[in-house]
Chain A
Amino acid sequence: MNILVNYVVIPLVKIVVIVAILSGGIAYLTLMERKVIARLQHRLGPMRVGWHGILQPIADGLKFIIKEDIIPIKADRFVFTIAPGISLVPAFIVFSVIPFGPPDSLWGTGGYVTDVNIALLFAVAVSSVGVLGVILGGWASNSKYPLLGALRSSAQMVSYEVAMGFGIIGVLLVANSLSLVEIVEKQRSMGVWFFFVQPIAFLIYYFCGMAETNRLPFDLPEAETELVGGFHTEYSGFRFSLFFIAEYANMITVSSLAVTLFFGGWLRPFSSVAALSFLDIIPPPLWFVIKVLIFLYIFIWVRGTLPRFRFDQLMRIGWKVFLPVAMANVMVTGAILLKFL
Chain B
Amino acid sequence: MIAFPRWDKQCCPLHAGGLLKIMTVFLFYVFAATALISALSVVLQKKTIYSALSLIVCLGMIAMLYTQLEATFIAVVQVIIYAGAIMVLFLFVLMLLDPMSEALPVPSKHIGYFAIPLGILLAILISLAGISYRAQPAGTVNEGSGDIAAVGLRLFSDYLLPFEATSILILVAVLGAVVLAKRKL
Contact = CB atoms under 8 A, between A and B. Distances in A.
Is B one of A's binding partners?
yes
Interface of A: 1, 3-4, 7, 76, 78-79, 116-118, 121-122, 124-126, 128-129, 131-132, 135-136, 138-139, 147, 150-151, 154-155, 157-158, 161, 178
Contacts of B88: 131-132, 135, 154, 157-158
A339 to B, nearest CB: 19
Given A125-B84, A126-B79, A138-B95, 4 more contacts: A135-B88, A135-B95, A151-B95, A157-B88
A317 B15 CA distance: 58
B85 to A, nearest CB: 6
B91 A3 contact: no
B25 interface: no
Task: Say whether chain A's binding surface is mostly helix, strand, loop, or mixed.
Answer: helix
Interface of B: 15-17, 19-20, 23, 47, 49-50, 53, 56, 72-73, 76-77, 79-80, 83-85, 87-89, 91-92, 95-96, 147-148
Contact of A135 (B17, B50, B92): B92
Contacts of A122: 76
A-B pairs with the 9 shortest C-beta distances? Answer: A128-B84, A125-B79, A121-B76, A125-B80, A125-B76, A139-B95, A118-B72, A135-B91, A129-B83
Given A117-B147, A161-B84, A139 B49 contact: yes
A12 to B, nearest CB: 14
24 contacts: A3-B19, A7-B19, A79-B50, A117-B72, A117-B147, A117-B148, A118-B76, A124-B76, A125-B76, A125-B80, A125-B83, A126-B79, A129-B79, A129-B83, A132-B83, A136-B53, A139-B49, A147-B95, A151-B92, A151-B95, A154-B92, A155-B92, A158-B88, A161-B85
Contact of A121 (B47, B49, B73, B92): B73
Contacts of A76: 47, 49
Nearest to A162: B85
A79 B49 contact: yes
Given A129-B84, A151-B95, A118 B148 contact: yes
Contacts of A154: 88, 91-92
A131 B92 CA distance: 12
Nearest to B83: A129
